[in-house]
Amino acid sequence: MKVFTGIDVGGTNINIGLVSETEQIIAETTIKTEVVKGPENALDRIASALQKLFSDGPDELNNKGVGIGLPGLLDIEKGCIIESSNLPGWQNYPIAHALSKRINKPVFIENDANLAALGEYWLGAGREAQDLFMITLGSGIGGALLTGGKIFRLHPSAGEFGHMIIEKTGETCTCGRKGCLETYVSKHGFQRLTEKMMPAYPSNALRNFEMHNITPQILAMTASKGDQLAIRIFLEAGEALGIAISNVINLTGVTHIIVGGGIANAWDLMREAVMLSLEKNVFQSIFSDVIVKRAVLGEKAGFVGAARLVFTSLPV
């Protein structure tokens, strides 16, 4: 059986999966990234994990190659990271070549947000769409555009959706610019909104938390219990997200939007505000065709997309 190996490298965990040519997830595992130990150590442990997956799996698995999703700006041709805040010290290390040498298989790398989109397109919420835009909402915000089922890219920095400026006189973002989407929808953005709006809601439940401890998960839990401040924060975030998505739709004409990442677990709290914002800001000739879906693969999207990268990169 031909299988394609996908690896999704994050700042905390590395998710690994085997996907068959018949589009089935055969096996999967997770190991710790342990960033401070460097890429050599991580690749040694990835190679060991792959060996175990294949030895424990069904007989006669034929590994055709490996795809790796990595955060940050990448040099695809050289197979290395140019810049990544989540993997400090990994810059310019030849990740693709070094893993290929360990396992004697071809290895391909790609930005993790792009591969999450590719995974949802292949086996997830984007199966019906040839063209789609996927947003990943987490500590930061990623974006990926697929056209004809392929990653659309003009520059390694393409896809920095979280740093789309939606308010020119807005608050300062962690990137140093003003008015980025991440000042509304991210852990930092939610904390900023909480601090800004707190005085207007003197009886809110969030007063029991230190500001630096307020996470999207805590906000979602508080909002689900009816706290008006938490509910309002998600409405503000949803409106901002809708403005940013509208800009992408109006610019590209893409009509299939997939929303994933950890913050997407609170999608029901933002959905109405997002859709109202889209209706207000998207050209009406396009809006009637717009479909917005929540991603369905969860943490599997990255390694599924990485496996798809191998599938499409190897000669037929």
Q: What is the DSSP string of the chain?
A: -EEEEEEEE-SSEEEEEEEETTS-EEEEEEEE--GGGHHHHHHHHHHHHHHHHHHHS-TT-EEEEEEEEESSEEETTTTEEEE-SSSTT-BT--HHHHHHHHHTS-EEEEEHHHHHHHHHHHHSTTTT-SSEEEEEESSSEEEEEEETTEE--SSTTTT-GGG-BS-TT-PBPTTS-BSBGGGTSSHHHHHHHHHHHGGG-TT-GGGGS-GGG--HHHHHHHHHTT-HHHHHHHHHHHHHHHHHHHHHHHHH---EEEEESGGGGGHHHHHHHHHHHHHHHS-HHHHTT-EEEE-SSTTHHHHHHHHHHHHHHS--
Distance of CA 178 to the CA centre of its chain: 23
Tokens at 111, concatenated? 């930005």
Q: What is the pLDDT along the chain (316 residues), one digit of tens a residue?
A: 899 999 999 888 999 999 999 999 999 999 999 999 999 999 999 999 999 999 887 778 899 999 999 988 899 999 999 988 789 999 999 999 999 999 999 999 999 999 999 999 999 999 979 899 999 998 788 899 999 989 988 776 667 788 999 999 999 988 889 999 999 998 889 999 999 999 999 888 998 888 888 999 999 999 999 999 999 999 999 999 999 999 999 999 999 999 998 899 999 999 999 999 999 999 999 999 999 999 999 999 999 999 999 999 988 5
Q: Are strands 2-9 and 13-20 parallel, antiparallel or unpaired?
A: antiparallel
Count of alpha carbons within 13 angstroms of residue 19, beta-carbon side: 24
**pLDDT computed for residue 262 by the predictor:** 86
Out of 3.40.50.720, 3.40.50.12780, 3.30.420.40, 3.30.1160.10, select the CATH number for domain 2-121+299-313: 3.30.420.40
Specify the pLDDT at position 157: 65
Contact 45, 31 (CB under 8 A): yes
Length of the chain: 316
Report the candidate in 228, 259, 238, 143 with the shortest Cα–Cα distance to residue 189.
Answer: 238
pLDDT of residue 316: 56
Same fold, 2-121+299-313 and 128-294: yes
**Domain residue extents for the chain:** 2-121+299-313, 128-294
Task: From residue 192, give the alpha-carbon distance in Å to each of 23, 165, 177.
Answer: 42, 16, 15
- Residue 80, phi then psi, degrees to nearest 5: -140, 165
Q: What's the token pair of residue 47? A: 């190679």
Q: Kindly provide the b/e burial profile for residues 7-43, where b requires at least 16 CB atoms within 10 angstroms of the residue's own CB.
A: bbbbeeebbbbbbbeeeebbbbebeebebeeebeebb
Give the separation between CA 152 and CA 61, rounded to whole angstroms: 32
What pLDDT, on a 0 to 100 scale, did the predictor assign at position 72?
84
Give me the percent of the chain exceeding a pLDDT of 70: 98
pLDDT per residue over 296-316, tens digit each? 999 999 999 999 999 999 885
> What pLDDT was estimated at residue 28?
95
Question: What was the pLDDT predicted at 292?
Answer: 97
| C-alpha dihedral sign at 224, 228, 231, 233 | negative
Superfamily of domain 128-294: ATPase, nucleotide binding domain (3.30.420.40)
| 8 Å CB contact between 249 and 218 | no
